Structure formats: C-alpha cells, structure tokens
Amino acid sequence: MMTAVEIGRQVASGRVRAQEIVRAALERAELTQVELNAFITIAHESALEQAEKIDERLAAGEDVGPLAGVPIVVKDNICTEGLRSTAASESLASFVPPYSATVVERLEQAGAVVVAKANLDEFGMGSSNENSAFGAVKNPWDTSRVPGGSSGGSAVAVATGVVPIALGTDTGGSVRQPGSFTGVIGFKPTYGRLSRYGVIAYASSLDQVGVLCRSAEDLALSMDVMAGHDPKDATSLAGVAPAFAKAVTGASDLTGVRVGLIEELTGEGNSAGVMAALELTCERLVQLGAELQQVSVPTARDGIPAYYLVAMAEASSNLARYDGMVYSSRTGEDRLGQADVMMKSRGSSLGPEVRRRILMGTYALSAGYYDAYYGKALKVRRLIAHEIERAFEEVDLLLTPTVPSVAYPLGEKVDDPLAMYLGDIDTCLANLVGIAAISVPAGFTAERLPCGVQFMAPALQDERLVGVTALLERHVGEKFAPLAPL
C-alpha cells in the first residue's frame, strides 16, 4: 500500500483520482470488518462524496493540500460532523455530532478523507479492545488474540493497510500499546501539542490525541497538519510551531545522542520476546551511533496505582453527564422519579469496566478518602515527574519496552482487571508527566507476534522522537512495519 505522502502526491498530480483511492480503502475496510471487527461505522456515502469534491477541486486547479485524497480512520471517541460518534458505548449509540474535532477538521482541510470510525474500548477505558458495546476487535497477526486498546480498531486499520494514518487517543498508553501489539508506529505527543476539542473526555489531564501509522514520514506530515494552538481548547499550547517534516530529513545518524534505559522497567516482569526485541533495538541504536546507559526512575513502578487513581477520579467527574437527562440514552418509565431514571440509565447504558472505574473514582474523591487516595496519587505523580526530569539531565531520550508482553489471547484478562492494568506500567508514565512518547516496531517474537519498544523525550521535543523513528525505519528497511495478513 502507498504511504500517505505518496497518495497525496499521486492525487495532486492527477496520476490517480481521490475516488479510486477512497473506494479501495472502503472495500478493504469491509473485508477487514468481517474478519476483525475493527470499525463501528464505515462511511461509504460521505467518504465518496468528499473524494469526488477533491477531484473536482483539483480539476479546477485548486490546491487541495498535502493529504489530497488520503483515506484516514478516526477513533470513535473523536467527534466527526454528521458521522456517528459513539465512544463504543450504548449510551451514545445514536449520537451524531454537529461539529468535528479540531484535529479532524485540520486533516480534512489538508485533503484527508474519513472512511471509517474505529472500534475501541468503551470511552477509552481498556487495554484489549474487548470492552466495546459493539464487540471485541481481533489482532490481524493472530485472530485469537487482542489487538490492544483502547485504540485497537485504529491500530488494526493501519496494520491491515486499510489506511496509512489513523487517529487514536492515549490516556495511559492507548495508542502505543495497540501499536506494539499490531506492529505499527504509535505516537503520543506532548500534552497540549494537539487540540482535544471534540474528543469525548475520559481523564482530561491525561487524554491526548495520538497517531497510528506505518512510516515516520506519514507521522510527520499528519503532525505538521494537526499541531498548533487551538483557541477552543484551553490546554492547547501556544507559540509552538510544528516542525516534524524537518526532523525526518534532518539527521543521518544518532552520533552523540544519549539513550537511557529505565532500569526499573527493563528487567524482571518482561517476557523473553519483549526483552529480545529491546536488545535488538539497542544494537540498532549503537550501530546508528547512539550512546546507551542505564538510568533510574525509582518510583516508576508506582506509576500504575497513581495513574489509575487519577484517571478514575477524572472519569467519575467527566462521565457524570451521561445520566439520561441531557446526555446519553434514557432508560425507565416517565412516571419514575429523576433519581430512578438516572440510576437505571447509567446502569443499563454503561458497560461493566466503565461502571467499575466510575465507582472507584467516586470512592477516591469521597469525603474521608480524598487525601488518602486521590491526594496521595497527585503527590506520587509530581514525584515521578521530578525523577524523569532528573533522568533527562543525564540522557536525551528514555527507552523501555512498550508493553511487558506481546498480544495475549482474547478473554485471558477480562475477569482479572488488575492483571490488565499492569500492562500499562511502561506507557502510563508519559501521560502522568505530560511528555511525548512513541512506540516503534521492534520485530517479531518466535511466535510471529509483533513487538514494540517505547522512546520518551522531554516536553516539546516531540520532533526528536519522529527523527529517531525515521532513522530506525531507514536502518531496518522494508521489514520495519510490514502489513499484517488479512
């Protein structure tokens, strides 16, 4: 399949029509859906209409943008005007937004075409994409296994070649973990680099839009298009101009770049396949000129309890609106009182994992427990941030496995949420601190399952991660992010 950069050039030059590209993507999406359940909505009509408009504008001599005719997939918790956006929840099963998220608007203004909305864990709450009101997503490399979550549908769309670029959201690793499980790039920028306007909130201090793709050049192009201040989002960073394309072509090697392996996360607890992938990446980094050393983040393993306390507390607040009154579907007879209708609506329209996190978050915020749980989690969050800042005084980048294991069988951890939560031990740190992180393909295990490694960079040094990815991609060649079988 062509990259987004190649498609944009081909369509803009008239060598291929946007309608041909989009029609092919829709056909492949249908095939993928039958096998893997990656999508909640496939946008046949609107996508072909948009592609036709692009062809007409090009024929009239207009500049459509660098993503002319590029098909994209958008996670279904990111609003798309006129196109159903459910967050994979029964409570929003019929919600059609009257506006699009800023990141979607900017991609469409650059010529991209939304061909489908991706399946996910309900409201982004999960690490396996099994917590969806629309059914579980399957991993294309082994359909008996999970694709990762919560952005599993977006990852599968890229891994199977439906689209070259997909949007996800990353609250504690929800772009990077499925990237690792499906063998694609998963990028979470510094908090505030991408607007969150139009994203259905889970945990507002942690949520960030992210990108899944198979090439550093596509990642750079999409970030250059989407990044930049958005006055509609109070957390959007001003005065930070994106320069991702320059990062892809800027460096020829990693001479002098210091990469630190977090010793608390690169030993016990990781599978043999994951450790082999990490060692292989270290060898490649040395060949490219990087200097490797061990660094310590003493409270790194405390990130999981701190992250889940903060995330669940914020989820309790954000999801209070889904009560059957104004937002979400309503359950119960009209003659029932307001409290009864609210309880019935929330109980019937929210899934078990969402209810679990709301209850735990409400408990952590309740009188008598706030200081013991939520307040303490905020202190640990600050401590981890200080330790990572100190680590970046010694090195330029931090390196860990993306996930302690490869994709596990469907159903294996559904009844053991604590085991599933532990899978976020590597990825949640970047969200707690607000820094940029990327999962990069690192080969396959003996079972032919993909595996990724994670790089983290100091705040606002996102472009550096894209540059490292580009160097590794050139070093590895065509086997860097191969298409999954379908």
Q: Which DSSP category does 372 fall into?
A: I
Q: How far apart are the C-alpha atoms of 127 and 416, rounded to whole Å?
A: 12
Q: How far apart are the C-alpha atoms of 113 and 268, rounded to whole Å?
A: 44
What's the pLDDT band for 341 if we cut at 50, 70, 90?
Answer: confident
What's the pLDDT band for 322 if we cut at 50, 70, 90?
Answer: confident
Q: 144 catalytic, yes or no?
A: no
Q: How many CB atoms lie within 10 A of CB 359?
A: 12
| Mean pLDDT of all residues belonging to the chain | 95
**CA angle 396-392-177, nearest 5°?**
80
Q: CA dist 63 to 12, 44, 47, 111, 160, Å?
A: 8, 24, 19, 9, 30
| Segment 460-473 mean pLDDT | 98
What's the pLDDT band for 333 if we cut at 50, 70, 90?
Answer: low
Q: Is the pLDDT of residue 82 over 80?
A: yes
- pLDDT for 95 equals 94
Which residue in this structure is represented by tokens 């996190």? 357
- pLDDT for 438 equals 99
- pLDDT for 335 equals 64
**Of 350 and 432, the one with more pLDDT:** 432
What CATH code is assigned to 4-251+436-479? Answer: 3.90.1300.10
Q: How many CB atoms lie within 10 A of CB 71?
A: 31
**CA angle 96-194-97, nearest 5°?**
5
Q: 174 catalytic, yes or no?
A: yes
- pLDDT for 320 equals 85
- pLDDT for 317 equals 94
| Segment 429-451 mean pLDDT | 97
Q: Put residue 460 in one of left, alpha, beta given phi > 0 → left and psi -120 to 50 → alpha.
A: left
- Among 91, 174, 316, 405, the active-site one is 174
Q: How far apart are the C-alpha atoms of 257 and 180, rounded to whole Å?
A: 24
Q: CA dist 339 to 91, 129, 324, 362, Å?
A: 17, 32, 10, 17
Are 158 and 214 within 8 A, CB to CB?
yes
Q: Where does 60-125 have alpha helices with state H?
A: 102-109
Strand order in the sheet with 450-457: 39-42, 113-118, 71-75, 165-169, 209-213, 185-188, 436-444, 450-457, 397-401, 258-262, 291-295
String of b and e for 205-215 (b: at least 16 CB within 10 Å)?
bbbbbbbbbbb
- pLDDT for 486 equals 83
Q: Which DSSP category does 478 fall into?
A: G
| Segment 440-457 mean pLDDT | 97
Are 152 and 162 within 8 A, CB to CB?
no
- Domain boundaries in the chain? 4-251+436-479
Q: 376 catalytic, yes or no?
A: no
Are 171 and 197 within 8 A, CB to CB?
no
| Segment 324-345 mean pLDDT | 68
Residue-wise pLDDT for 41-81, tens only, equals 999 999 999 999 999 999 999 999 999 999 999 999 999 99
- pLDDT for 250 equals 84
Residue-wise pLDDT for 226-277, tens only, equals 999 999 999 999 999 999 999 999 878 999 999 999 999 998 999 999 999 9
- Among 100, 128, 150, 215, the active-site one is 150
Q: Is the pLDDT of residue 411 over 80?
A: yes
